[in-house]
Amino acid sequence: MAQHKTRFRWLVVWALGMAWMAAVAGRLGYLQLLHYSDYLARAERQQQRIFEISPMRGAIYDRKGRELAVSLPMDSVFADPAEIADVDMVSGLLSRALDLPPEEIAVRIREARTPVRLARKLSPETVQRIGDLNLRGVFFQKENRRVYPQRELAASVLGYVDVDEKGIGGIEYSLDKEIRGRPGRMMVMADGRRRWYDRREAAAESGASVALTLDETIQYIAEKELDQAIQKTHAKHGVVVVQDPDTGNLLAVANWPPFDPNDAGSYPADARMDRAVSAAYEPGSTFKVLTLTGAIENGLARPDELVDCQMGKILVGGRLIHDWKRFGVLSVRGILANSSDVGAIKMALRMGAPRFYDVIRGFGVGQLTGIPLPGENRGLLRPVDEWSASSIGSIAMGQEVSVTPIQIVSAISAIANGGTVYLPRIVLGVQAADGMDETPPSRAPHQVTDARTAAKMREMMEDVMIEGTGKHAQLQGYTSGGKSGTAQKIDPATGRYSRTEYNASFVGFAPVNNPSVAILVVLDSPVGEHHGGAVAGPVFKRVAEQVLAYMHVPHDVPLPADTETARNKLLIRPAPPSADRDGSEARFEAAVAKSRQAEGAAQTVAFGEQGVVAVPDLAGQTVRGVTEACSRLGLVPAVIGDGVAIEQFPQAGAEVTRGTTLTVRLGEPGRAASQAAHGAAQ
């Protein structure tokens, strides 16, 4: 009996053991087979911490390879709570270096189970101070910081980035996918006591570099002259656009007010706006160029045909429209030169609304250009069936239609180049880090008018400069064509045209027969004088003269005797490079030789205030440095070559009159000295 009970007990124990083992096996199977992935993920979350390593954003360059935006590696500081024994002590020491409350640092360390970032992208001085503390559990990790070395220059086009290096505005935003690159990852492993024992990194892939069509020096000239115009006229906003009419490439896009993209957050949204693509406005009389082009292109008018402008009154669709002046009989070219509203309206009436609409659409008005800049405004051009009876009269003189600055400058470029509309282009090329070209395709140009009509319009626009409303914009040494515009703004309070606020503008090109640049100036609400020819025309003149000189465009008319200097002639026709010298050196020597032959010539002022100034020493200066120095002293820069200044004429210290051309040859540093030594040896 006792043996039977013992056996029974063992059986019970065995049964319980088997049941326990079955339960354990079942539980293990349940966890390992059905919920393996869930528990593995939980374990990894406890044991691993993955940090994203920001990629190096691609650089942004101007058309000559000069840096406009770059990324620099900087240190961010982290704290590992598992290795910090005295949190309060560490927090107190770090607070002085980071300028943060110690309580905030302590809370962030205590609440973290893995390394926590305390501050990002520190200055080298701050990194040195923290490193000198030699704190256990405090370490650095490299991150990238976007830097704009030229500060405000072209800021509205470049845009800016946020703290995570994500593009926010301008090219930084529109091409963020290409520029940003692919982030890397850093994985840190911890044991059960939260001690970090392993670290693995997957490298980030750098972003693509972007070359813009902008020229840093031309951009600087445009921004400088726009700023001076704003200070003089007290306008609310302003835009200057410089375009190559033969390609559509934008050489400068200046906006006012400016902002510094290195600290974009401290500026209002209004300052960060790219008005050249986003701000549509009624163009006023600059639109008459399109109106008259359409009439001549369709065989409905001739430049020398006489038109009765009815002493400044015309009835259109039951609405009496008054001209800005009581004109009688004018030729068609006189209509443009004197900016007659009645004359322009009569040209539009000859075309009729449908044909006039097609002409306007052909120039790209009311359509997106597709330029890779965010926030582009298509402007306003209502379909013909939405026009009122008097709309044709309003549109003919630039009302009831709105354009962006890049639309109107591109339309005028079509007149300048012989009738072809090239859509504005801002991106010259995109090159990935692996060298592959990722340049987006550009839209094909289209013919909007024939070459003969375009030539007639260029001749008529030249008359505007000589005899009409563009006299204040007439260039010295170059032929030019242009058109002024003075447009009343809509008063938001009444919905009617304001009697006190205007958009003053001027658009033109130079030289007339082979235009190198088309330039638009728009000043929003200038105080006092508000006519486009009077306030925007002089800005066009100053920008055009400096840009043409910088581009070494030969003068196509002689300078007046009282303004021409011997040194203004230096680069009119540079000598061809010799076989044994580089081209820039040969041109420089040719310029100096011509200047020395003309030493006895009168040296008077070409522009700016009269007076004598000492020539600065420009050795080692970049193109921008040369331009700034000459601008301050009233000298005309003539730059040859690329790199930094290695030779100049006149020499530093020489006394010359304001307006004198200062010829500067750029090249590699030290090259001039080696060439001089070689010459001495010979």
- pLDDT above 50 for 604: no
Angstrom distance (rounded) from CA 370 to CA 536? 28
If one counts every other C-beta atom within 10 angstroms of the C-beta of residue 38, the result is 10
User: Tell me, what amino acid is at 336?
Assistant: L
Structure tokens at 483: 């058109």
Angstrom distance (rounded) from CA 189 to CA 51? 12
Structure tokens at 464: 């505007």
Angstrom distance (rounded) from CA 217 to CA 663? 16
Angstrom distance (rounded) from CA 348 to CA 354? 10
Residue 319's Cβ-side half-sphere holds a number of Cα atoms within 13 Å equal to 14
C-alpha closest to that of 250 among 274, 218, 296: 218
Task: Report, as an integer, the average pLDDT of 453-459.
Answer: 95
Structure tokens at 527: 């105080």
Using one digit for the tens of pLDDT, what is the confidence trace for 485-500?
A: 999 888 887 888 888 8
Using one digit for the tens of pLDDT, what is the confidence trace for 324-342?
A: 899 999 999 999 999 999 9
pLDDT score for 24? 82
Angstrom distance (rounded) from CA 534 to CA 474? 11
pLDDT score for 184? 65
Task: Provide the b/e sequence for 386-398 (b: ≥16 CB within 10 Å).
Answer: ebeebbbbbbbbb
Q: What is the CATH number of domain 566-681?
A: 3.30.10.20
Is 638 within 8 Å of 664 (Cβ atoms)? yes
Q: Select, from the ranges 389-393, 438-442, 494-498, the one with the highest average predicted confidence (pLDDT).
A: 389-393
- pLDDT above 70 for 99: yes
Grouping H, G, I as helix, E, B as strand and the rest as coil, residue 88 is helix
Angstrom distance (rounded) from CA 313 to CA 306? 17
Grouping H, G, I as helix, E, B as strand and the rest as coil, residue 60 is strand
User: Given this chain, do its domains 50-209 and 216-550 carry the same CATH topology?
Assistant: no
pLDDT band with cut points at 50, 70 and 90 for residue 561: low
Least confident interval from 196-205, 246-255, 345-354, 586-595: 586-595
pLDDT band with cut points at 50, 70 and 90 for residue 574: very low
**Farthest-apart Cα atoms in the chain, separation:** 144
- pLDDT above 90 for 674: no
Question: Has domain 216-550 been given CATH number 3.40.710.10?
Answer: yes
Using one digit for the tens of pLDDT, what is the confidence trace for 394-439?
A: 999 999 999 999 999 999 999 999 999 999 999 998 887 766 566 6
- pLDDT above 50 for 609: no
C-alpha closest to that of 330 among 293, 350, 301, 352: 301
Task: Report, as an integer, the average pLDDT of 629-638.
Answer: 72
Angstrom distance (rounded) from CA 546 to CA 414? 23
Task: Report, as an integer, the average pLDDT of 230-240.
Answer: 95
Encode 186-210 in three state secondary structure: EEEEECCCCCEEEEEEECCECCCEE
10 Å CB burial of residue 37 (0-12, 13-18, 19+) is exposed
Least confident interval from 121-135, 220-234, 503-517: 121-135
Grouping H, G, I as helix, E, B as strand and the rest as coil, residue 184 is strand
Q: What is the CATH number of domain 50-209?
A: 3.90.1310.10
Q: Find the Cα–Cα–Cα–Cα dihedral 267, 270, 273, 275, rounded to 10°.
A: -140
C-alpha closest to that of 672 among 587, 585, 586, 594: 585
Q: Select, from the ranges 34-43, 445-454, 617-626, the one with the highest average predicted confidence (pLDDT).
A: 445-454
- H/E run at residue 633: helix 623-633
What is the chain's mean pLDDT, rounded? Answer: 82
Question: How long is the chain?
Answer: 682
Angstrom distance (rounded) from CA 417 to CA 10? 107
Q: Where are the domains of the chain?
A: 50-209, 216-550, 566-681
Percent of the chain with pLDDT over 90: 46
pLDDT score for 681? 36
Angstrom distance (rounded) from CA 662 to CA 175? 39
Grouping H, G, I as helix, E, B as strand and the rest as coil, residue 498 is strand
Angstrom distance (rounded) from CA 612 to CA 610? 7
Percent of the chain with pLDDT over 70: 81
More confident residue, 415 or 626: 415
Using one digit for the tens of pLDDT, what is the confidence trace for 349-360?
A: 999 999 999 999
Instruction: Say whether the peptide bond before residue 574 is cis (omega within 30 degrees of 0).
Output: no
Using one digit for the tens of pLDDT, what is the confidence trace for 141-164?
A: 777 888 888 889 999 999 999 887
